[in-house]
Amino acid sequence: MNFFGLVFALALAAAGAEKIPPNAAALAQVAAGQTQEARALWWGFDPTDATAALQAAINSGARRLIIENPGAPWSVGKLQLADNQELVFEPGVVVQAKRGAFRGTGDCLFTGTLRTNVTLTGRGATLRMWKSDYDDKTQYEHAEWRHVLSFKSCARVRVSGLTLADSGGDGLYLGVGRCGVPCSDVVIRDVVCTNNYRQGISVISARDLLIENCTLVDTWGTAPQSGIDFEPNLDSEELVNCVMRNCTSANNRGDAYTFYLKPLRKDSKPISIRLENCRAEGCRRSVAFVTGNDGEAAAVGGMMEFVGCAFNGSQGAGLTVGNKPASGVRVSFRDCTVSHAATNQPTLAPLQLSSSADAVEDFGAVHFERLTVRDPLGRVPPLAYHDSSGGAGLRELGGTLLLQRSNEAARVFQLTPALLAEWLPHTSFKPIPRFAVEGVRFEPALPQAQPDPKKISAARQRGPSEWLLWAEAGQPARFSIRLAPVGPAKPKPAPVKLVAPSGAVTELTDTLPGAGETAYEFQPRETGAYTIRVAPKTGTATVNAGGGRVCLFGPRAKLHLLGTRGEYFFWVPAGTQEFAVKVAGDNPGELVKAALRNPTGKVVAEADNIVAAQQFVASPLNPAAGEIWSLLLDKPATGVLEDFFIHLQGVPPVLAHTKEALLKPARTAP
For the chain, what is the radius of gyration of the CA atoms? Answer: 29
Q: Which residue has the higher pLDDT, 239 or 483?
A: 239
What does the pLDDT average to over 364-389?
A: 93
pLDDT-based confidence at 535, cuts 50/70/90?
confident
Q: Taking Cα atoms as reference points, which of 506, 486, 503, 485 lies closest to residue 495?
A: 506
Average confidence (pLDDT) over 348-375: 92
Query: Cα–Cα distance between 465 and 458 in angstroms, integer?
Result: 15
Q: What is the pLDDT at residue 378?
A: 92
Whether residue 85 sits in one domain with residue 56 = no
Whether residue 243 is contained in a domain is answered as: yes
More confident of the two residues 431 and 236: 236
**Do 49 and 170 lie in a common domain?**
no
pLDDT average, residue stretch 157-177: 98
Shared domain check, 311 and 245: no
Q: Residue 491's pLDDT is what?
A: 65
> Are both 448 and 591 inside the same structural domain?
yes
| Pair 601, 552 in one domain | yes
Looking at the domain assignment, is residue 571 inside a domain?
yes
Same domain, yes or no: 645 and 532: yes
Contacts of 408 (CB under 8 A, 6+ apart): none
pLDDT in tens, 585-633: 887 788 999 999 999 999 999 999 998 788 999 999 999 999 999 999 9
CATH of the domain at 543: 2.60.120.380
pTM for this predicted structure = 0.79
Bridge-based pairing state of the strands 643-649 and 558-562: antiparallel
What pLDDT score does 660 carry?
Answer: 96
Per-residue pLDDT tens digits for 272-328? 999 999 999 999 999 999 999 877 778 899 999 999 999 999 999 999 999 999 999
Q: Is the pLDDT of residue 504 over 80?
A: yes
Structurally, the chain folds into a number of domains equal to 4
- Average pLDDT rounded to a whole number, residues 94-102: 97
Report the pLDDT averaged over residues 388-410: 88
List the domain range (segments joined by +) for residue 236.
Answer: 77-254
Q: Which residues contact 111 (CB under 8 A, 6 or more apart)?
A: 78, 79, 80, 81, 150, 151, 152
What value, to the nearest 5°, has the Cα angle with vertex 35 and ends 30 and 37? 95
pLDDT of residue 507: 83
575: left (phi over 0), alpha (psi -120 to 50) or beta: left
pLDDT of 90 > 80? The answer is: yes
Report residue 12: phi and psi, to 5°: -65, -45
299 or 240, which is more confident: 240
pLDDT of residue 53: 97
Provide the terminal-to-terminal Cα distance of the chain, rounded to the nearest Å. Answer: 88
**pLDDT confidence bin for 13, thresholds 50/70/90:** very low
pLDDT score for 510: 55
- Tell me, yes or no, whether 86 and 14 share the same domain: no
Rounded CA separation 150/460 (Å): 36
pLDDT band for 8, please (50, 70, 90 cuts): very low
Same domain, 128 and 53: no
* pLDDT tens profile 453-482: 999 999 999 988 999 999 999 999 999 999
User: Shortest CA distance to 72 belongs to which of 46, 33, 42, 103?
Assistant: 46
Q: Would 72 be classed as within a structural domain?
A: no
Task: Mark whether 216 and 189 lie in a shared domain.
Answer: yes
Look up the CATH number of the domain holding residue 161: 2.160.20.10
Does 532 reside within a domain? Answer: yes
DSSP classification of residue 432: -
> Is 267 inside any structural domain?
no
**Are residue 121 and residue 193 in the same domain, yes or no?**
yes
Q: Is 517 found in the same domain as 605?
A: yes
Residue 265 lies in a domain: no
Q: Is residue 266 part of a domain?
A: no
Say yes or no to pLDDT of 14 above 70: no
On average, the pLDDT of the chain sits at: 92
Give the pLDDT of residue 669.
39
Dihedral of CA atoms 606, 610, 615, 617 in degrees, nearest 10, equals 10
407 domain-assigned: yes
Residues 558 and 486 in one domain: yes
Of the chain, the percentage scoring pLDDT greater than 90 comes to: 81
Tell me the mean pLDDT in the region 528-534.
95
Name the nearest CA neighbour of 287 among 304, 269, 301: 304
Which residue, 38, 63, 88, sits at the end of a domain?
63
Collapse the DSSP code of 189 into the 3-class scheme (helix H, G, I; strand E, B; otherwise coil) and give the result: strand
Percent share of the chain, pLDDT over 70:
95
When mean pLDDT is compared across 81-95, 282-296, 502-516, the lowest value belongs to 502-516
Instruction: Say what the pLDDT of residue 515 is.
Output: 65
Residue 206: pLDDT over 80 = yes
Q: What average pLDDT does this structure show over 396-425?
A: 93
Write out pLDDT tens, residues 630-657: 999 999 999 899 999 999 999 999 999 9
Q: What is the pLDDT of residue 546?
A: 85
Q: Are 576 and 652 in contact (CB under 8 A)?
A: no
* Contact (Cβ atoms closer than 8 angstroms) between residue 424 and residue 391: no
pLDDT of residue 630: 98
Mean pLDDT of 378-405: 90
Q: What pLDDT, on the 0 to 100 scale, is given for residue 51? A: 98
CB 390 within 8 A of CB 354: no
Cβ atoms of 493 and 511 within 8 Å: the answer is yes
Classify residue 408 as exposed, middle or buried by CB count within 10 Å of its CB (0-12, 13-18, 19+): exposed
Does residue 339 have a pLDDT over 80?
A: yes
> Counting Cβ atoms within 10 Å, is residue 343 exposed (0-12), middle (13-18) or buried (19+)?
middle
H-helix or E-strand spanning residue 606: strand 603-610
Angle between the 3-15 and 24-31 helix axes, to the nearest 10 degrees?
Answer: 140
